[in-house]
């Protein structure tokens, strides 16, 4: 995998968000963290770190394999 050049965190997060949205449009499902990382050109651990920080900031970017924070019984 070819690594992308260094970018500021905000720009990298925008890349992740755009890539995730285009993946859903193309494939009809959310990408896994590995697929998302490969598409953006970062390591899975870097992608995971950015996704965690984005979720902490209130940007809920979904990936396959991440459990929903909703209660399976009531949906809250």
Q: What is the pLDDT of residues 7-44, one digit of tens each?
A: 888 899 999 999 999 999 999 889 999 999 999 999 99
* Confidence band of 63 (pLDDT split at 50, 70, 90): confident
The CATH T-level fold of domain 9-56 is Arc Repressor Mutant, subunit A (1.10.10)
Evaluate whether 33 touches 51 at the Cβ level (below 8 Å).
Answer: yes
Tell how far CA 36 is from the center of its chain.
Answer: 6
3-state secondary structure of 9: helix
For the chain, the average pLDDT equals 84
């Amino acid at each position: 995998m070819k690594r992308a050049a260094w970018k500021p965190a905000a720009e990298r997060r925008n890349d992740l968000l755009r890539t995730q949205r285009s993946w859903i449009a193309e494939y009809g499902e959310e990408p896994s963290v590995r697929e998302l990382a490969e598409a953006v050109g970062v390591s899975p651990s870097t992608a995971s770190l950015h996704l965690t920080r984005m979720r902490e900031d209130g940007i809920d970017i979904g990936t396959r394999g991440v459990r929903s924070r909703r209660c399976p019984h009531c949906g809250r």
